Each structure stands twice: as structure tokens, then as C-alpha cells.
Amino acid sequence: MRQLSGFGAKSEAKMLEGIALYRRARGERKLLGDVMPVAAALLERVKAAPGVVRASLGGSVRRQAETVADVDIIASAPQAGPVLDALANAPGVATVLGKGDSKCSVRLEAGDLQVDLRVLPDEDFATALHHFTGSKAHHIRLRNLGHERGLKISEWGIHRDDGTKVPVKDESDLYALLDMQYVPPELREDTGEFEAARAGTLPKDLVTLEDIQGAVHAHSTWSDGRNSLEEMALAAQALGLKYLTVTEHSEAAIYAGGLKEDDLKRQWEEIDRINAAIPGVRLLKGIEVDILESGALDYADSLLEQLEVVIGSIHVRHGMDEDQMTRRLLAALDNPCLQILGHPTGRLINSREPYPVRMEEILERAAERGVAVEVNGKPARLDIKAEYVRLAVKLGVRLVVSCDAHQKEDLRNLAFAVATARRGWAPKGSVLNTLPASRFISALRDRR
């Protein structure tokens, strides 16, 4: 391969790394964002089956993990048969892998995805749902806690030492039996939730999708998006969003149709027209400005100062070393025009490793300077990831959850940004786009 002209040892190494990532991804774990729509549709089908009392997704899909291996659905009904049939006969099922009295497993045509459905009497629903939600590490701790209290916790329910079954109506009953706060599925990873839930210090106001007032980070046909600004505005309105930040690429991003200063000013006129014509939703004038190699931003301060929302992102020169990349990002954070640091690690799940950067230093500087950090909800990005969200929250960094939309359907990426924020224990108060538009804009301007 090195003989091919233009491929040095470095690009060869990079390509091998890419192939390794691809191999790991293939046939293994799939992006949550790819699986969720399929899982949600099957859940609706199960819910509509005869006799169903309750039904829920389980497993890593319910915990909203970045990637998932398969789909679990748990349902309660007096008779399992008709519910199992609803899955076996669902459109898109390639093979029924197995069907018993209470369980059915199928493989879908799309994405080679396995779906397991379990149907139980309603009195067993909560403990079964909890069991099949996981994670394994969370359950091990939970069982030990139960054991200390003379309770045997298993897939079959909770039993006392004398064999009597403890009634459990829902999952909060289960945690109450162990003198704990309810632990939301996204937090069930044994990364401190037990200590917090027993001390009563789990965040009670974890951010939810319903808290989000506006969508951050959207492209249109003005740069590399597929829909017009008007179509984007109408889609945001239909989702009940109060605002959408229009953040096209800047001039240096030639490959992505980056805007020159004149283009940007013409875009403002179009935004004003749309805002006057479409009620209930407001387009905010913004930019996703490239962070250049030096850490400088791709537009003059005098132009950036006229914008309502300034996201700064790295799109090229990912190959810098950790020192260089850290310095590049710190310089950008020191620019008083930068309001939001976009997709801060540049990773693409299953296809591109994050660039090397000292994230703790970056997050500390962001907190110090009052720069918000993006939790990008594009399913292949989820950047920053949940572990960094947790660090950011601890350091007092302000966050935005974003959709990084390149078409109107991508507005739904907000759900995956919120999921990542929740997995990082982010309370509503740490997320700026839970604020109405005017307060959101003034919060972004509140730089230090």
C-alpha cells in the first residue's frame, strides 16, 4: 500500500485504524440513532396488540447507550400469545429466531437487528423491565444490596428469604425497598449512582426533551444543508420549538459551502422575512465558524459581534498532536466572540477516533471564560460524550444540546443530545437552550 503514490506511512496507519474501527462496528454495536426509530415503531405495534397492559423498551436502548447490540421489549398482558404474534408478524421481520410461551425473538431485514420480546403477567412487569434494562454492573450492586436486606432480586421478581414474593408495582417501589432514590435508566451503570441515590443526592431535575425550548446548530441550503431556511423553520414550528439557531459554515469551510460575509448579510434579510411570516418560532442569526489551525476564528470579530449565536468548531487539521490541539482550542476559548464550542472532540462513532486533546483543561477554561460547550446529538457524533458531560457539569460549564441538523428530519437529533446530557447527569439548569430565546441570547453573550 505504501507503494501507491501519495500514501505515506502515516496515511497507511490512519487507514488501518479506520479499518479496525469499521470491523469493530460491523455486526457488533449499532448507533442508537439508527436503532431508535425502528425500536419505537415496534414498541407501538406491541402496545397495540390485544390485551397489552404495559409495554416498554428495555436494555441498552432504554438506557440510551451510544451504541446498542439489539432491542429488548417487555410487555404485560393476561395472554402472551397474541402479543408475541404481533412481533412475529411485524413488517420488516426477516426471520423468527424462536418463539416460546412468553418470549419471541426475531431478526429484522433492516440492519441485521435482533429484537427480543418478553410478555409477562402485569404483577411481574416492573421487576422484569428492571431486569432487562440492565446494566449488568448496576444489577450486581443492586442484588448485593438486596441480599443485605434479606431480599433476593432476580428476573422472576423480589423474594424474601422465606420464599414469599414482594409486590412491586413499578421501578420506584423497587428502589424504595432498598432505601434509595429512583435511578433513571440512563444512570444505571454503577458509576456512582448507588452512592448518590442512597445519600439522596441524585439530580432530581435531570434535563428532559420537554425542557428544551430551542434547537441549536442547524444548516440549510445556504451551506451544506438539504432544506431551505423556510422548511427548517416550519419543521421546528411543527415540533413545538420556540427557536432554531441558523449556524451555517464559515468561509474557510469551502467543502461545506461556507459563507462569505456578503452571503451572511443576505441570509439575515431572508431570516427577517421568515421570522415575520412564520409565527411561534424564531430563527436566530448565527454561524458555525471554523476554528483555524492557530485557534483564530474564521471571521473578523466585527462580523461575529453582529451575530446572535456563534458556535466555533474544528473541521480540518484533525491530525495535530495533543499539545497543539489543546493550545488551538484554548486560544479559541479565549476569543471573546466565541459563545459555544462545537463538537469538541471531533469523533465519529465507529469511524473516526477523537483528536487528542486534554479535555479537562478545555472544560476548565470553558467554565472560566463562560463559553458554553455543545452536546452534539448527531447519532455518529454525540460529542461531548456522557463522561465529559459529567465532568463539565462538575466544573460548572454551561451546556447546549444541539441537533447539528443538515435536513429537517435531523431536528429529532435533539433527543439524542438530551439522552447524552442525561447520561452525564446534567440538570436542566446547566443547559442554556432550556431558556426562552431572549434569555438564551443574553446568556450566550455573558462571556468572561
181 vs 313, which CB is nearer to Zn ion? 313
Provide, rounded to whole angstroms, the least separation between the CB of residue 218 and Zn ion.
Answer: 8
Provide, rounded to whole angstroms, the least separation between the CB of residue 404 and Zn ion.
Answer: 5
Q: Alpha carbon of 55 to those of 204, 366, 411: distances in Å? A: 25, 42, 27
Q: Report angle CA 161, 163, 166 to the nearest 5 degrees.
A: 90
Provide, rounded to whole angstroms, the least separation between the CB of residue 322 and Zn ion.
Answer: 21
Residues that bind Zn ion (CB under 5 A): 288, 313, 404
The grid cell for 25 is 462496528
CB 128 within 8 A of CB 119: no
Angle between helices 322-334 and 359-369 (to 10 degrees): 10
60 vs 402, which CB is nearer to Zn ion? 402
Provide, rounded to whole angstroms, the least separation between the CB of residue 308 and Zn ion.
Answer: 17
* 8-state DSSP, 5: T
The grid cell for 427 is 440538570
220 vs 313, which CB is nearer to Zn ion? 313
Query: 398: closest CA among 380, 379, 371?
Result: 371
Name the pairing type of β-strands 157-160 and 165-166.
antiparallel
Nearest-angstrom CA–CA distance, 49 and 52: 6
CB 183 within 8 A of CB 193: yes
Nearest-angstrom CA–CA distance, 205 and 350: 32
Provide, rounded to whole angstroms, the least separation between the CB of residue 288 and Zn ion.
Answer: 5
341 vs 432, which CB is nearer to Zn ion? 341
313 vs 345, which CB is nearer to Zn ion? 313
66 vs 288, which CB is nearer to Zn ion? 288
Residue of minimal Cβ distance to Zn ion: 313
Provide, rounded to whole angstroms, the least separation between the CB of residue 259 and Zn ion.
Answer: 13
Burial class, 90, CB count within 10 angstroms (exposed 0-12 / middle 13-18 / buried 19+): middle
Provide, rounded to whole angstroms, the least separation between the CB of residue 388 and Zn ion.
Answer: 17
Q: 384: cis peptide before it, omega within 30°? A: yes
313 vs 335, which CB is nearer to Zn ion? 313
Nearest-angstrom CA–CA distance, 397 and 15: 35
Phi and psi at 94, nearest 5°, equal: -85, -45
End-to-end CA distance of the chain: 50
Provide, rounded to whole angstroms, the least separation between the CB of residue 260 and Zn ion.
Answer: 18
308 vs 404, which CB is nearer to Zn ion? 404
134 vs 225, which CB is nearer to Zn ion? 225
Q: Which residues contact 46 (CB under 8 A, 6 or more apart)?
A: 52, 55, 73, 75, 83, 86, 87, 117
Provide, rounded to whole angstroms, the least separation between the CB of residue 219 and Zn ion.
Answer: 6
